[in-house]
Every structure is written in C-alpha cells, then in structure tokens.
Structure 1
Amino acid sequence: MVSSLSQERPQASAGAGAGMRDPFFDNAKYLAIVLVAVGHSWEPLPGSGRLVEALYSFVYAFHMPVFIVIAGYFSRGFDMSPKRVWRLVTGILVPYLVFEVAYTLFQRAVETPGFPLTPADPYWILWFLPALFLWRITTPFWQLVRWPVPVSLAVAVLASMSTGIGDDLQLMRVLQFLPFFVLGLRLRPEHFAYLRRTRVRVAALPVALVALLVAYWSVPRMSTSWFFRSYGARQLDEPVWAGAAMTLILFAAALVLGACFLAWVPRRRLWMTALGAGTLYGYLLHGFFIRGARFLGGYDDPFLEIPAGRIAVTLAAALLVTALCTPPVRRVFRYVVEPRMEWARAAGSGPETPTYAQPSETYTERRQRELQGPANRPGRPDRGGR
C-alpha cells in the first residue's frame, strides 16, 4: 500500500541498480495489508470471544504503525515543488474523494438510504488518505526541527489529553499517529538492515509471544478503542493523565512489535513481492466486501460462532485482499486509484519529470546532491521515467 499511497520510489536494495524496487518493502506491505483485512474481518464476528479479541488487540497494536512508518520513510524526499504537490493531489486526494463518494453510495444502497456524503468526515477506512496528505505536507517542517520525534510525540500526547478536537478529517487520529510518520522520516537503511541480524530475528519470537499473552490478559481490562487513536482519554471515560500514559505505552509497544514483524519479513523476491506494489487497491476495495457481508447478513451464520468459522473468515479475508492486489484488478481500477490526470494540468506546465531521490535522503541531502551536478552523482542516471 505504501508505494501507491506515498507515490515515491522504493529504495533500491543493496547491490541492485538505481531505481529497482526493494522486495523487502513490497513484502512488508503485502503482509501488512493482509493483517489489515483480517483485522477488519474480525470486527463483525458475533461473540468473537477472548482469544479473537486478544489477536485483534495484538494485530492492531502494530499493523497501522508499520504502514505509517514506511510511508514516512518513503516521504523523506518530499518538498513543496509543483511536481510533488501535483502527485500528492492526484495520488491521494483524488482517490480519496472518488472512494468517499463510492462508499457513501454503497452505504446508501445496502443499509442506510439517507447516509450523508461528508468528505470532511472520512468513511471508515478512508481516513488514512487525508491523514497521509496532512502528514506529507508537513514533511519539510519535520526535516528542519531539531528533535522531530519527541516533538511529534508531544503533539500526540496533547491530542490524547484534549477534549476540543473535532471529527473533521479524523484529526485526532492524524495527531496521535503522527509520531510514526515522523519516525519514518528519520530512519535510514541501516536501521532496517539491523533487523536482519540473527539475534534480532530470534529475539522477535519470544517477544511476540509475550505480547500475545499480555494482549490476552488485557482483553477484559482495556478497551480496544485505544488502538484506533480516534478518541481522547475523556471520550473513553478515562482520566486525562491516562491519555498521556497510553500514548507513550502504545508508541513503545508498536515500535517493539513492528520491529518483530519487520524482522521476519522476507528480504528476497517471492510470489508476494509483486502484490506489494498493489496494496492500495486491496486497501481501498476490501471494505466493500467486508461491509457488504456484514450489511447483507453474512455474519449472522451460526457457523461463524465456532472456531472453524472464525478460521474460515480469516482465510477468506486474506485470500480476498490478495486477489484485490493482483495485476488484473489493478488494471481495471487504475484510473480511479492512480489517476494521472494530465488533462487537468495547466497548459505549459509540461509532463511530469521524475526524479531519483532515494527515500533514505532528506530534502536537504537531496538538494546538496543536486547542487553538486551530474558529474558527481555516481550510479545516477541523468534522465529516465519511473
């Protein structure tokens, strides 16, 4: 999902030529989108039980933070140049508006005839698109501030303690998830390479097991609403200080579990690698199927109340989102998910000229490299398309 959402070129893997996709990130995005779809498929399960709730809490503790960290990592070269702003609008805002209308019409058709169209209040899963837009346009600021991650974490803490943040553009989520995006901006390739070490991969297994046990213990003691970052502490009937504490605890938990997840993501090219380039399609489209199944009574079958039924739902969600990431689906929906909209560009602006800024570069680093001139850019082609 991130490559499509962020509209940036994935970093070339070690030893690969410039401009080649790194299989690691595509594999990570595919596995993460499977977790997203599976988590959404668990939500409507009747009487899901403590085990499913524990798995749900475990997955939600890190799957969106992983997405957001990677999105931040691939936003490192973003500036406010006309070319990049155009890509931001056509790659994020336009699909958001299209799918906001589509999901509104869908909701009206299957459940609520009078369901309002409210672009300022994103429909369910669509919150991530305007959030990414807002995070990205602030990238130049986070590249300049001295302590970006602590500052963004302070913003998230204050948001969780606030009572005056409205629902427009899911601003509460935008602010509480902000530290993960800023962290991604600060990461370097060596940070991901560190996760490849054997001792890290070995340690990831017992850490994940302990986290599962903690999730199981926490089910009757903690609301899963904390993981959504949609509410402040007062809205969850908790004291204000709990908002600050939970923000810090969940941030630490997401970092640890996200590292465990990434440590076991395959680094080589596999069957799933090509699907990782189409995760935006799976993300935007799977909601129609899951919400449709819920609205049309698909979750009312008593079979879903037994373990075999819950396993069947999990496998069905994984297969569904996998199918939605395949090239045939991408070809059909490309014009609404990744519109180029050259017809809307001002006359004389010319075609988009791609750049080869790597995601490991900050904006300042890229500008310094560009000022050196082509002769001092080893391994970088002077022209070419994405």
Structure 2
Amino acid sequence: MTALAPLPVSPTAPKPRVAYLDNARYWVMLLVVVGHSLTEFVVMDSARGVYTWIYAFHMPFFVLISGYTARHYVGDVRQIRRIVSTLVVPYLIVELSLQLISRHYTGEPAQLMVLSPQWIGWFMAALILWRLTTPIWRALRYPITTSIIISLGAGLIDIPNVLAAHKAVALLPFYVIGLHMTRERFLRLGTVPLRIASSLLLGGLFVLCQFLPYDRMDHPKAWLLWKFSYSDLETSFAEGIAIRAGLLALGLLMTLAALSLVPRGRSWTTGQGERTFYCYLLHGFVIVWLDRHYHLWVRLEPYGAPAVLGLIVSAVVLANLLMTRPVARLFRPVFEPKLTWMFRDIRESPRVKIPT
C-alpha cells in the first residue's frame, strides 16, 4: 500500500496572547451575558433601551474580534483539528444539551435539530462557516465590499437555519473587516481625541436608546437579531436594504468606538478575558435553568426597573464567575478535548508560512 502523504502543518510555537484583545473579549462578554439576561424583559420600557443599545453592537464587536483572531487561518491540519475540538464538539454538546433541557420543560423541539441552533449555539455554528471560508475572503480583491453586498442581498431571500447561515451571512462584513484589521489600526483607535469622541458617542446613543419611540417602531428587536428576511420584517426590499445598511454602519461605528476605549495594558480583566470561551458556553445553561425551573423572569417582572437593575448586576457577577480559572480548569476537558484518537498523526513536512 502507498503511504499517506505528510500533512502540511503550521509552526508549533504558541503565539503570545495580546492583552488588548483579551481585555476586549472580557468587556464584550459582559455585554453578551447582560443582553441575554434581559431578553425576556424587552417588553418593559426599563429594559428595552438597554437591550437595544447592547444589541446594536455587541455581536458586531464579537464577530470583528473573531475575524481578527482568525486572520492566520490557512486550513492546515492543526487548524482543522482545532476547529473540530474547540468549535464542532462544543457546539454539539451545548446545542443538544439545551434542546434536551428545553424539551424536558416545554416539549419543544419535538425532534432534536442538530444543524439548526436554537440559541447561543448559533455563534459557534456561524464561526465554523466563517473560519472555513476565511481563505476565500483573503483571496478576493474586494472582500469587504463583497461581504457587504452579500449581507444586504441575503435579506431578499429566506435562508434556512442551517448552521445559523442566516446570521452568518448577515454579520459577515464584521468578520471580514476583522480579518483585515492590523495591530496598527487597533492602536490608532487609542488616541485621546478618539477616546473622548467614542465616550460621547456611546454615551449619547445609550441615552437615545432610552427615549426611542418603541411603540411606533417596527420590529426593533427583530432587526437586531440579524436573522429575518425583509419580507418577514414587513418592509420593502429597498427599505430593508437601507435599514440593514444603516445597522451595519451603526454596528461598525459603535464597535470601533468601544474598541478605542478598551485598555491596552494587562489588568485583572485580561486574565478573565482569556477564559470568555467557557463563560459563553455555560451562561446559557444558568439562564435556561433559572427561567424554566424557577420561572425567575416571570416572578421578577412586576418589580419593574429595580428588577432590571438587579438582573444586570447579577449577570455581571455571573459572567465574572464563569470566567474564573477553576471553571476553565473544570470544563476544559469537556469543551476542548484533545481528540488524538480521531486524527492522523502530524508528520514532519514542509511548513506553511503564516503572515504576521
């Protein structure tokens, strides 16, 4: 029998972590957990403004950072193994577990839908698609423009929820922009004038979100979920394209503003930011358990604004607990298995040069 050809691999030397990126992950993860905690309270005026402000940019922020950290992806065997162990396996564990829990309490879904993420699993599913298509976006002459056209055009059709393809396509421009960011561009965001302008922008938009006429707005929450077609949102194609284009611009502007405010140096948030992976995967279980088993949100709703404030504080505490070292040590074998039994041995072969 002919021996299998050696597998191309990238250099094995681990890259040092960048404190700025870990700080950014920490702050955006707080927004993710707070946003998910307020989902059931969107009917309340005291929660709707905060929710709208968070959802206007927290996923664009997360996706752009994910694009930047994937800029070295070339599809070699080591990177493919990492996709399987840190994306595919956690996706299957989290998605199937949450669907089973939901079915236990509500009877839905009647059949497990492995390829149709129902909640937090969508991001891992989308990240798999983005990561595998990374070489395409690095090869195109006009990748950012192409991704924007695809995102705007995606709203013209109904895209099935297969590996969260509808969200993956809608949010694609932020991933592609992240792929083409550089350290120098991030550093340029840290100038004092830009930080002052960013603080005023984010603060002003936060205040504005509290006073938007939600009773006269069509589907504000639905637009910010990035998963519905323009027809589902009861708008014309032209209006739909204009609104999504505006949301893309707003999401990018707020993301860059938030990035300019992220601390550059190491602090206690840096270590926490190194472990956001576990917080993202686990916080959904806590929220679902409190909601389904104790009906916490239904019980808290009559208390109005104090309940909203209490939930925000509790979400921040929960997020920080789930980013601690003991949690990472406990769940790393579950969510980042080695899977050495599944793959061929990595043999010595010409190495793939990765740009710095």
TM-score (norm. length: structure 1): 0.83
After superposition, give the CA deviation of every residue in 1:8-62 in whole Å (9 maximum; x if it has no partner): 99xxxxxxxx93321111111011111101011111128421x421111111111
Question: Is the CA contact (8 Å cut-off) linking 2:47 and 2:305 kept in structure 1?
Answer: no
Q: What 5-or-longer segments of structure 1 have no aligned partner? A: 1-7, 10-17, 358-362, 367-386
Q: Does 2:226 correspond to 1:229?
A: yes
1:70 to 2:68 alignment: no
Aligned to 1:273: 270
Q: Give the 3 Å change call, closer, same or farther, for CA 190–298 of structure 1 in structure 2.
A: same
Which residue of structure 1 lines up, in the alignment, with residue 328 of structure 2? 330
The one of 149, 160, 167 equivalent to 1:173 is 167
Give, in angstroms, the shift of residue 109 of structure 1: 2.9
Please report how far the alpha carbon of residue 211 of structure 1 lies from its aligned counterpart in structure 2 after TM superposition: 1.7
Query: Residues of 1 paired with 2:110 and 2:199: CA distance?
Result: 45
1:191 equivalent among 176, 185, 189: 185
Aligned counterparts, 1:125-144, within 5 A: 125-144=120-139
Q: Which residue in 1 is equivalent to 2:147?
A: 152
- Greater shift in the superposed pair: 318-327 or 290-299: 290-299
Aligned to 1:15: none
- 1:324-361 CA distance string (max 9 Å, x none): 11111111111221111112222x43599999x8xxxx
Aligned equivalents of 2:204 and 2:126: distance in 1?
32
Hey, what does 1:294 align to over in structure 2?
291
Per-residue CA deviation, residues 223-273 of structure 1 (Å, 9 max, x unaligned), is 211111010110111111122112210111011111121111111111111
2:41 and 2:48 in contact (8 A); partners too? no
User: 1-side partners of 2:277 and 2:78: how far apart?
Assistant: 21
Q: Is the 8 A contact 2:95 2:118 kept in 1?
A: yes
1:302: Cα distance to partner?
A: 4.6
Work out the CA distance in 1 between the residues paired with 2:42 and 2:309: 14
Question: Is contact 1:107-1:115 (8 Å) kept?
Answer: no
Change (3 A) 1:148 1:47: closer
Letter in 2 for 1:133: I
C-alpha separation in 2, matches of 1:298 and 1:325: 23
Number of residues of Structure 1 aligned to a counterpart in Structure 2:
342
Mean CA deviation greater in 40-49 or 186-195 = 40-49
Shift of 1:113: 6.6
Aligned mates of 1:31, 1:187 — CA distance in 2: 19
Distance change (3 Å), C-alpha of 1:351 and 1:272: farther
5 Å-filtered alignment, 1:80-95, equals: 80-95=75-90
RMSD between aligned alpha carbons?
2.5
Counterparts of 1:284 and 1:190, CA distance in 2: 31
Partner of 1:369: none
Report deviation, 1:167.
Answer: 1.9
Structure 1 residues 330 and 172: alpha-carbon distance in aligned structure 2, compared to 1, 3 A threshold: same
3-state SS of the aligned residue for 1:34? helix
Q: Map 1:1-386 to 2 at 5 A.
A: 19-45=15-41, 47-49=43-45, 51-112=46-107, 115-162=110-157, 164-215=158-209, 216-220=211-215, 221-222=217-218, 223-296=220-293, 297-302=295-300, 305-346=303-344, 348-350=345-347, 365=355
- Between the aligned partners of 2:350 and 2:32, the Cα distance in structure 1 is 34
Separation in structure 1 between the aligned mates of residue 350 and residue 274 of structure 2, nearest angstrom: 21
For 2:163 and 2:276, the matched residues in 1 are separated by 22
> Offset of 1:151 from its aligned partner?
0.4
Which residue number in structure 2 is paired with residue 360 of structure 1? none
After superposition, the C-alpha distances for 1:271-326 in whole angstroms (9 at most, x for unaligned) are: 11111111111111101111222212111225763322211111111111111111
User: Which amino acid is 2:189 matched to?
Assistant: L
Please give the TM-score of this superposition, normalised by the length of structure 2: 0.89
Q: What is the aligned-residue identity percentage?
A: 30
Residue 115 of structure 1 and its aligned partner are, at CA, apart by 3.8
SS in structure 1 of the partner of residue 83 of structure 2: helix
CA contact (8 A) 1:47 1:305 kept: no
